[in-house]
Structure formats: C-alpha cells, structure tokens
Structure 1
Amino acid sequence: MRKPLFCIWNNESIELRENQRNLAIQNLNLISERIIPIFDEATQTVANSLNIPVCCLGFLLGEEYQLKSVYGLSNLGLMNDLAKTRKIERQNTFATHVIDSHNYLVIENTLCDPFFSQNILTQHYGIVSYLGVPLTIFNGLCIGCLEVIDTTARKFTLQDINFLMITARWCVAEYERNELITPHNNFIKYCNNYQNFSSDILIDNVENFTSSPSLISSNNINDSEKYIRQLSFQLLNKLTQKLSIPLTSVIGMSSVLKQEIYGKLNSKQLEYLQIIHDSGQEMVTLVDEITKLANIKTEINLEFVPVDLENLGKQVIKSLETFAVSREHSLRLSIEPGEKIWKLDREKVKKTLYYLLITIIEGSRTGGEIQIHISQKMQTLKINCWVTHPWLGDGISFEKINAYECALKNYDSSLLQNNIDKKTSSQNSYEYDLICLLFSTYLAHLQGGNISLQGSPESGYRFIISMPISK
C-alpha cells in the first residue's frame, strides 16, 4: 500500500519550477560538500526516535538526487554505490515523487506494489518500506526530501508521518536562520528577489499616499520626511524577512509538544521549549519594531523632556537581550558618576541607541560582550558602544570597519535635500546592519548630533553617539 502519489497542479512550467529549485539550492549554499550539523542531527534523531535503520536527507538538483546527510546507509550493504557516491539519478529515487507532489509518500511494502517493485532501490538495494516528506523553504518551494527506509515491511503511523514532517520543517528553518546571519548573503539576495513585500513597492505606495490631495497636501511633505520614510520601509522589509524564520520554529516546535511525540518531558523537549521561548521573544521584538516604524510620520518633530539615560539604556538592553543571546552576545551598560537626567527627545534617543546596537550585534562575531558607556562632555552627551571578545580583543569586527566607515562617510546631510531617490536606491542593496546604521545616523543628525567610528587597528574601533543637551 502506498499513499499519496500525485503531482500538484499550477500554472508554472516544469522548466520554471526546476530553475527556481536549482537557484534556491545554489543560493542556500547547499551545492558545496561541507557538512551541515543541523541536517546530521535531524537524520540521527529521526532514525533513533522511529527505531528505523536508514534515514536520508537530500536535494533534487538537475538530473541527480544528492544526499546531503545520511544515517545507516551501510544497512543497505557495506560500501554500496549509494553510500559511496551519495547520489542517484532522479528517475530511480522515490524522493522525486515527494518533491513533485509537495506531499509525503508512504510505501509499506514495495514488493507488493506494481509500480515501485521494479525500482532499482527495491531490486538492487533491497528497500521494502519507505516514508518521505518534503523539505520546504521559506517561500513554499520544495527543494528536497527527508526520508526513512527499512529492508522489511513496515506500517507507518500518523504519528510517524507528523514527526518526520515537523523535523523536516525544523531543520530547514534552523538552516535558513543560520544562513541569514552568516557573512555571505546569497540567500538574503534570493529572499529579496522573491519577496513581493519589497521596499520599492512600499516606497511607491508611500509616495502615492503623500501625493493624494484627499489625504495630505504634498506641500507639507518635505525631502527630509521622504528620506526617513524610505529608510523606514527598507527596515520594514528586512524585519519582515527576518520574522518568517523564527515564526516557522515556533509553529514547528509547538506542534511537536502538542502531539506529545516524546511522551513526558525529556532533554529534547526542554531544548524545544527553549527554542519556542527564544523565537517567540524575538518575534515579539520584531513585531513591536514594525508597529513603531509604521507610525514614523511624526519622526521629524522633536519633543524635549527630562530623560533618565541610565533607565533608558536599561530599557534598550532589555528589549535586545534575547536578540543578543541568540547570537551569543551579552550587553553591559555603564554610566559615569554625576548627572543622569538630561533634556532630550526620549523616543529618538532610544531609537538611535537601539538601532546602533543592532548594527553591532548583527555585524560582530559571536561570543562577544557589547559595552555601552554613557558620559557627558561639556554640553554634549556621549554614548560609546564597542565589543570586547575573549580571544579576538576589543573593538568592532575588523572585517566590517570599511563598510561602516564608507556608510558614515557617504552620509551627508546635504543629500537630504538633493538626489534623495538616487541615494536611497543605492541603499537597497545594503545588508541589515548597514541600514540600521544609516537609520541610527539619520536620527542622530535629526537631533543635531552625529555618530562616528573612532579607533585604530591596534586599539580597536568603537561607535560614538554625540548629542547636544538642550538647556
């Protein structure tokens, strides 16, 4: 008995789907022969949990089905061809049917199946029972298969199927999360190309909104407001992309616990609970920022109030704590003795520090302590931000210095009145940390201050926010 086996119907050509899948695999950096620990963990966990001899995870690339992670292939015969080459022609694999249908495939006994009994996997490798589920990435595209194999007839329960599907979603989501925070950005570019929620569309909508006489007069929208809105919507685009990955983790892990697949709580369930908690906290932070950025229209106006900088700094650190921990960073605040309350625009100072810290968290190597020191020099507020690392020394990551210096150097307040469209167009290709730096710099300039990058290769580099204190 086998179920189900069908191909999905859509208006895309086979060639287009093949090209999309090949491009996705390439941009996810899955073509290289590097070992991916999260996939190895998935195959080992599945094999042990289901007590089944063989588990494989592979991708369909062109005319070949390539195995990226395998567990127990020797059970199909020592030094068999499949174990040695880690690939098989697409027409000879069961996984092709899973990928084409975007659905799971169950074969309880291939020897009794008129279709699969003639397959090379049955005839040559002795595969009798099979269960495969699709590997689906963030945009719904199926790129591969997670599958379990046995050399004897076997009945797969609904619990087995659900467990395999949840594990497939989990390992792909975790891999995508890691790809988003690694130095190379092919996957990020692919996400940007795929997303319909693009900054260009959003900016066009904003311009249409501001040009509508029934809503607001275009005479009241100056170039400065236009610039901040464009930067805001670019940030919204990046935040939305980053939101999809932890959301997948939350859904997948909660499903595992709700179905009680592991029975009573064990170490694995505790690990999943931690993932749910951390992902949920990160989602809350991102959603909160999206909500705030949606109300950016009043950002031009300054409202000076007495501000307790130590308390404000603690609030910023608390809001970024989960985000920092997920990247193995810690945050530490210090303030020089003396006056702690200054008259400032509270929300804009808070956003300035918040997005500068995101820049550092995103752009720094894991395992560092990010330090924030607040001081006063004459009538100027100084906030120093830098990183200390147990073996890399002090300072902002050296490989990021050139990009940050270039961004700050090219930032000229005169451009807020000239060539805005050209400037923001060039920023569309910036990574998340650079857009955060530009946004933070804009807010500092708006308050009459600035952000500088000071230091040297020997002593290390640090960001310094300088802000005039209102009398």
Structure 2
Amino acid sequence: MYSESRLFCRLEGLSPVERWQRRQAVLDQLDLLNTDGVPVFEEAVQMGARFLAMPICILSIVNGTQQFFKAAVGLSQLGVMNRLAAQRALPLAEGLCTYVIDSEQVLAVANVLEHEAFTQLSLVQEYGVQAYAGIPLLTSQGDCIGTLAVMDTTPHHFSQQDIAFLELTARWAMGEFERNQLIASTTANSPWPTLASNSLKATIDAVRLNLIAQLTQDLRSPLTSIVGMASVLSRQIYGPLTDKQKEYTDIVRRSSQTLMNLVDDIIGLGTDRDDYNYLTPTPVDIEMLGQQVIQSLEQVATQREQQIKLTVEPGPRIWMLDKGKVRQLLYHLIFSVVQTAGEASTIQVHASRKADHLQLAVGLSNPWLGEGLPQALLALDHHLPGGNIGDLYPVNQDLVGPHPSRDLQFPDTTTSSQESSRELLSLLLSRQLTEMQRGALGIQGSPEAGYRYVITLPSLTANASTASRIAC
C-alpha cells in the first residue's frame, strides 16, 4: 500500500466549501462539467487497463461530493446493470478516490479487505472491489481535479512500474486535454471573421499570437513524456543505472522540467486569451502556491548556487485571490532577484497578514554581501517607467514605503535599449499584475539594513463574479 498507514492531507486547512470553490473554478475554466465523450480520456483508460492487465479502469473528476466518470472500461465486471454503469457517478464517501483527491498522492492497495478503513465502503461492500490503485489527475497548474484509477475484484499487487505507467498516462491525458481545449478556444476566437474591419497588420499579429500559443501548448505533450520517462529511469524502476547513466538521466529530467516550466510560463501569460484582462477569485492556499513557484524556479537558482526559502506567518493560509496572476507576479519578481543576486545567496520569501491584506516580502541575504536586494536590481527598478512607487500607488504608499532612490544614487541608464533584459521585463510585469489586482508593490528598508520587495494584495470578495472585468 503506497500510502502506508497514514493518509495525510495537503488541503486540510481548507473547509469543504473552499475546496469545492477551488475545484469548481478549475472545472469551469476547463469546461469539463459540460464535456462528454473525451477521446483522450477514453484512450487513457483503455491504456491503463491493458498495460496493467486490470479489468476495470476509470478516469473521474470531482465536483462537490460526487465523482463523475468521464471515461471508464470494465464497469460490467461489477455486475449486470449495476448502479455505477448506469449513473457513471459515485459519492466520494463511498469510494477510495477521496483519499487520492485530498492528499494529492498515489494510493495503491493490493487487498482492501486487509485495511479496516476501507472495508465498509460501498465500492467494497456492494461491488466487491478488492484491489485499487489511484493516481491524482493534475492540471498544468497543479490543481487536483480527479483521479485515474484501476480496480479488480480479486487482490492484485501493484509494482513500481505499474504506478509509474499510470502516472505517465494521467499526466499525458490531462496535457492532451488542456492542449485541445486551448486549440478549441483559439479557433472560437479566430480573427478571420473580422478581416474586413481590421488592418492587415493587426490581423497578422492576431494570427501569429494564436499560432504561437498553439505551438507552445503543443510542446507540452512531448515534454510531459520526456519528464515522466526520465523520472521513471532516474528512480531505477526498470533496473539499476551506472553512475554516468544516472548523471545523464538527471540532467535530462532537470532540463526537461525547466523547459516545461518555461512553456507553462508562456501559456500562463495568456498572449492569445482575452481572459487575461479578468480577475478570477478562488480560494488560494498561499503556502502551497509559494512552494509551487519556488519549485518552478529551483533549477534556475541551483544553477547559480542559490537557495529560495519560504516562510509563512502562523494563522489562516487561505486567501481569495486570482491564483494565476498572483503566481505569475511572484514568479517573475523572484526570478528578477535570482538573476541579479550573486552566488551563495538565499532568496527569502515571507507571507504574512497586515490588517485585511496579504503581504508578501521578497528579500535577499548573502554571506559576503550581507542583507538586501542587489544594487543592480534596485537600479533596474529605479529606471523603470513610473519607477517612483509613490507615482504608481499613492494610496497604498504607507503600506510599502518610499522608493530607495531617495537614499541612493543610480547611474543614468536607459531602458530603451535594443533588447530589454528579461529581468527588466519581469519587474515590469510584476508591477502591472500587482496593479491589476488593486495591490501595491514597493521597496522597504534602508541603506544600512538593506532593501526588500513588499507586495501588498487585498483579498478579493468571495461572492465576486468568477470573471470580474479589470478596469483599463
């Protein structure tokens, strides 16, 4: 049993309502509740059942207290005209998938009758399921929306190879589904119907952006396979590796994951989507979100011999925020610090509550240079358009403090060079994303104690519209 005797829950800080809101927003965005007969899901369950030689394989999504079967094979094995086959749904409390959903971890049980916690479930009592292996179904943003599970009415031992294959299949299925959804939405918003009223240049630009978005999404499928297979090889599931083979496999895995993070970053920018101008409030666990951002930047920091550490002030971790935009602004702000900091630096991220606002501080410490943001980064920030924080956010300046340009003198550099640095663009995007959410981004500190970035964000109202138009 892969979960052993302890079933831990990464979402234990969320109430049932908050969990429902979080998943509902993702399901609405993917339009999964209204989608029937997804070919890639059907192929996934066929692959799972065939490769593991299991009679039953189900891909389901969770909405509220129910799990709905989006694709299934072998339901007739549970009895002629059984309720599952007819309704293609099961209350979460009656099955084992709830443990996978809550923990976002693999659950593999060779014989459920040997575990008292499972013996009273209707999946066991009514349908006779004895062997179960469930894999969390994760979106590209890391949200668990369902499971891919195989079952048998007799005990069955699951090997590491079995679990690895199911993980690959689940990752592939979700990647393909999201890619197809993006292509469909892009086609629906095609600029061709308005050719007559648009200039040729504007039309070409729109087509180019749509094509870039599709090509970027197309990169996810092969990268997903490379990351998954490299991970399987590095875990030596199919046999031991030599030291050199293990070294090369780890390089392939890390490099592929870096490429995957870059692809997700491009997709997250929403260059082809009008909904980038909308706020989508959802309950966000700020600690989990911070860990996801740090994980995506880990490879970049490691290459520069740096560390990124996250601390969270004790208390409630759940905030109503636009998860995607907060993730992007935090990612790009930390990226700017990483790129301008020296070796052996530690980037410190701290989340806390200030009045009714969420405050995120990003600082830096270096064993030789001391505390505070690098001079190069402060200079970049100073010379950004609207570089005076007070000009951008006069109302919230008391929350973030004055710009250090009052204390320091920077050379008169220009930001209109032929090729703006990615650090500069990342800083500018972080500012714009903060402003879109009615927040403040500023710098606190002094020349003696050093400076740090401070982001202050209001919690969006829980009853706000799922898509609230941002005033432009």
Which of the five TM-score ranges fits, normalised by the shorter chain?
0.3 to 0.5
| TM-score of the pair, normalised by structure 1 | 0.43
- Which TM-score applies when normalising by structure 2? 0.43
Structure number, greater radius of gyration: 1
Higher helix share: 1
